């Protein structure tokens, strides 16, 4: 079976890390019988520069046709002063919305070899394996009305709307429940129900779905406490389900538990398991073009793509095993305290993958 893949390099370190991930895809094709038709498209600042839009229509069309999408990263100072609709981040938000990729899975796994790369004490983080399920197409990121308006006294006021419908909470909860059932059936829903009505509704709906499905050990936690608990005793968590903005923040915090944000892949799925796969880190303008970014989050995103959208779980295992192996062999990019370049790290993974 031939898989149709769309590759969106994006901006900053995006092209560098995606190049390494594509070496992995090439290797799967040459050595493991993986068949793919590969297209490339523009998004983010590259879309603005190349086609006058952070999400050119052609890219969205390609994305709708594809079985899965691999994305590098978007954004950079060059485009920061453009009006909001032209900013690179809008391309990312629009492709998520345009494909209805409401379920964002962000695993935070500490590889044993990296226990000393974390800023937390080894006994706090060793063995860490958390899955954050972030709602991705609703909440304050998309709520209307939004804007900046001028008040009568001439003062300006910025405003956004945090809104969730029952149906949105329902579907993300069901995804989280499915994920939890494949693990320890423990789910922690994170909200701010002590202050926000939208969280009150969220909490009630999550409880209702879990009662209906049964067999889930559900707890609720306020987001401020969850942020603290993630740092204090992260291993108390297994699967976390939360809204768009809380999930954005908590997943960056969780990333640091694993030693480097350069290690974390993600999957963004719609209700048919069509997905877009991207590292959770950004375009890192400060190191872009230097060839020193860690490509492992992107390589691990390829593994998630194989597992969740392409039904190629064995190949996903091979990639993950190879990443583990190179880390065990001592391979380290700068973010992990080493000095390997982006392509040296990619090549190290390929060498192991070929011999597996
Ligand atoms: C992420 C990023 C994005 C987000 C930005 C780049 C729009 O931080 O994927 O976590 O906030 O969702
Ligand atoms: Mg983020």
- Give the separation between CA 260 and CA 135, rounded to whole angstroms: 23
Ligand nearest to the CA of 266: 1
Residue 248 in contact with ligand 1 by CB distance below 6 A:
yes
Residue 87: closest CA among 119, 65, 127, 55: 55
Residues 278 and 268 sit within 8 Å (Cβ to Cβ): yes
**Mean pLDDT of the 314-328 span:** 97
Looking at the CA of residue 251, tell me the nearest atom of ligand 1: 10
List Cα–Cα distances, 321 to 188, 197, 326, 356, in angstroms.
29, 44, 9, 9
pLDDT digits (tens, 9 = 90+) for 50-92: 999 999 999 999 999 999 999 999 999 999 999 999 999 999 9
pLDDT in tens, 137-177: 999 999 999 999 999 999 999 999 999 999 999 999 999 99
Residues sharing a CB contact under 8 Å with residue 32, sequence separation 6 or more, in sequence order: 315, 318
Specify the pLDDT at position 356: 78
Which ligand places an atom closest to the C-alpha of 92?
A: 1
Ligand 1 atom at minimum distance from 252 CA: 10
Whether 335 is catalytic is no
> Is 252 a residue of the active site?
yes
Share of the chain above pLDDT 70, in %: 100
pLDDT tens, residue by residue, 256-301 = 899 888 999 999 999 999 999 999 999 999 999 999 999 999 999 9
pLDDT band at 353 (very low <50, low <70, confident <90, very high): very high
User: At the top level of CATH, which class does the domain 1-109+261-356 belong to?
Assistant: alpha beta
Q: Is the pLDDT of residue 202 over 90?
A: yes
State CA 308 to chain mean position distance.
13
Is 280 a pocket residue for ligand 1 (Cβ < 6 Å)? yes
Q: Which atom of ligand 1 is nearest to the CA of 245?
A: 11
Find the mean pLDDT for residues 320-339.
95
Same fold, 1-109+261-356 and 129-257: yes
How far away, in angstroms, is 247 Cα from ligand 2 center? 8
Residue 116 has pLDDT above 90, yes or no: no
224 is catalytic: yes
Which of 31, 100, 238, 252 is flagged as catalytic? 252
With a 6 A CB cut-off, is 89 part of the ligand 1 pocket? yes
Best CA proximity match to 104, nearest among 281, 275, 339: 275
Domain locations along the chain: 1-109+261-356, 129-257
Cα 159–161–165 angle (5° rounding)? 175
323 lines ligand 1 (CB under 6 A): no
261 lines ligand 1 (CB under 6 A): no
Is the pLDDT at 186 greater than 90, yes or no? yes
pLDDT at 338: 95
Task: Find the length of the chain.
Answer: 356
Q: What is the 3-state secondary structure (H, E, C) of the chain?
A: CEEEEEEEEECCCHHHHHHHHHHHHHHHHHHHCCEEEEEEECCCHHHHHHHCCCCCHHHHHHHHHCCEEEEEECCCHHHCCCCHHHCHHHHHHHHHHHCCCCEEEEEEECCHHHCCCCCCCHHHHCCCEEEEEEECCCHHHCCCCCEEEECCCCCEEEECCCCCCHHHHHHHHHHHHHHHHCCCCEEEEEECCCCCHHHHHHHHHHHHHHHHHCCCEEEEEEHHHHHHHHHHCHHHCCEEEECHHHHHHHHHHHHHHCCCHHHCEEEEECCCCCEEEEECCCCCCCCCCCCCCCCHHHHHHHHHHHHHCCCCHHHHHHHHHHHHHHHHCCCCEHHHCCCECHHHHHHHHHHHHHHC
Specify the residue with its C-alpha closest to ligand 1, atom 6. Answer: 89
Q: Average per-residue pLDDT in the chain?
A: 97
pLDDT of residue 94: 98
**CA distance linking residue 228 with residue 98, whole number of Å:** 34
The answer, yes or no, to whether any atom of ligand 1 lies below 6 A from the CB of 335, is: no
- Tell me which fold the domain 129-257 belongs to: Isopropylmalate Dehydrogenase (3.40.718)
What's the confidence (pLDDT) of residue 117? 86
């Amino acid at each position: 079976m031939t898989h149709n893949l769309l590759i969106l390099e994006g901006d900053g370190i995006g092209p560098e890390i995606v190049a390494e991930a594509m070496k992995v895809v090439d290797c799967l094709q040459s050595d493991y019988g993986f068949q793919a038709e590969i297209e490339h498209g523009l998004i983010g600042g590259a879309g603005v520069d190349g086609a006058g839009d952070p999400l050119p229509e052609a890219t969205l069309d390609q994305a709708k046709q594809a079985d899965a999408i691999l994305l590098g990263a978007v954004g950079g100072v060059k485009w920061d002063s453009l009006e909001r609709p032209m900013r690179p981040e809008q391309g990312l938000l629009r492709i998520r919305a345009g494909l209805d990729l409401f379920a964002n899975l962000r695993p935070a796994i500490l590889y044993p070899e990296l226990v000393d790369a974390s800023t937390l004490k080894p006994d706090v983080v060793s063995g860490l394996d958390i899955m954050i399920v972030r709602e991705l197409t609703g909440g304050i990121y998309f709520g209307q009305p939004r804007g900046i308006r001028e008040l009568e006294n001439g003062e300006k006021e910025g405003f956004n709307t945090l809104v969730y419908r029952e149906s949105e909470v329902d579907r993300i909860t069901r995804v989280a429940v499915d994920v939890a059932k494949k693990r320890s059936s423990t789910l922690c829903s994170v909200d701010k129900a002590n202050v926000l009505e939208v969280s009150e509704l969220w909490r009630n709906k999550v409880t209702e779905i879990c009662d209906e499905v049964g067999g889930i050990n559900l707890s609720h936690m306020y987001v401020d406490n969850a942020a603290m608990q993630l740092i204090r005793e992260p291993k108390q968590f297994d699967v976390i389900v939360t809204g768009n903005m809380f999930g954005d923040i908590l997943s960056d915090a969780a990333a640091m538990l694993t030693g480097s944000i350069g290690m974390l892949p993600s999957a963004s799925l719609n209700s048919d398991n069509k997905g877009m796969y991207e590292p959770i880190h950004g375009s890192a303008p400060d190191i872009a073009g230097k060839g020193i970014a860690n490509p492992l989050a992107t390589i691990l995103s390829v593994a998630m793509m194989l597992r969740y959208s392409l039904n190629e779980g064995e190949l996903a295992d091979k990639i993950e095993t190879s990443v583990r192996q190179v880390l065990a062999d001592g391979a380290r990019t700068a973010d992990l305290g080493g000095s390997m370049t982006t392509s040296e790290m990619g090549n190290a993974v390929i060498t192991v993958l070929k011999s597996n």
